[in-house]
């Protein structure tokens, strides 16, 4: 039987049963792999060249640079993706993993840098920062302006380097493109 949509029997064969579902799952996973690589590139570009709140004077003194989010490249290198299967669904995770431990407590640095935070400065924290500054400056003293540490707090402004790229039109268009291509490949097989 033929129609304006092509051979109906061929359509049923290609879309019926477990074989089609398996092809579609495999092609979707491949598309999400490509989308993950694309997303990592978007996020890394966002970290390198995003228009974010400027660094505080203390941060500039510690880093020796005024570029927000960029120091030794560890944040950029930590951006990654993973395609996995959970409860029968194929899932793409994109993000970064940078943590630090202070006084036995684990802190998610990516969340702090991305969402912003207000941190109460303890005497031990201040001493550690001032020691680092002195070592960077040789024997010199710490700068008089300690950045945004008014009232014993350091304020870290939000810098949405992951959400911005993932919510962008470029990512959305690429997602649509990859999923449409995955469906097309599964139907043609």
Helix (H) or strand (E) holding 75: helix 74-78
pLDDT of residue 8: 65
d(CA 145, CA 125): 16
The residues pairing with 105 across neighbouring beta strands, listed in sequence order, are 102
In angstroms, the CA 142 to CA 83 distance is 46
DSSP secondary structure letter of residue 64:
S
Q: How far is CA 16 from CA 3, 9, 59, 187, in A?
A: 19, 10, 60, 10
Handedness of CA 180, 185, 188, 189 (dihedral sign): negative
Phi first, then psi: what are they for 115, rounded to 5°?
-95, -15
State residue 102's pLDDT score: 75
Angle CA 23–165–88, to nearest 5: 30
17 within 8 A of 49, measured Cβ to Cβ: no
- The closest alpha carbon to 42, from 159, 174, 187, belongs to 174
pLDDT reported for residue 138:
66
Ranges of residues in the chain with a pLDDT under 50 are 1-2, 140, 142, 144-151
For residue 82, the model assigns a pLDDT of 96
| 160-173 residue pLDDT tens | 999 999 999 999 99
């Amino acid at each position: 039987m033929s129609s304006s949509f092509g051979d109906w029997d061929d359509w049923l064969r290609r879309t019926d049963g477990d074989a089609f579902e398996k092809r579609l799952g495999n092609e979707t996973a491949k598309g999400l792999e490509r989308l993950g690589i694309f997303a990592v590139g978007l996020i890394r570009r966002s970290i390198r060249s995003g228009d974010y709140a400027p660094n505080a004077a203390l941060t500039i003194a510690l880093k020796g640079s005024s570029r927000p989010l960029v120091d030794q490249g560890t944040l950029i290198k930590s951006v990654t993706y993973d395609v996995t299967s959970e409860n029968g669904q194929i899932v793409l995770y994109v993000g970064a993993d940078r943590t630090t431990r202070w006084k036995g407590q684990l802190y998610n640095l990516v969340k702090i840098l991305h969402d912003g935070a207000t941190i109460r400065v303890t005497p031990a924290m201040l001493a550690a920062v001032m020691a680092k500054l002195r070592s960077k400056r040789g024997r010199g003293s710490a700068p008089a302006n300690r950045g945004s540490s008014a009232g014993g707090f350091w304020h870290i402004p939000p810098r949405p380097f992951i959400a911005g790229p993932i919510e962008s039109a470029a990512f959305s268009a690429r997602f649509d493109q990859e999923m449409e291509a995955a469906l097309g490949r599964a139907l043609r097989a």
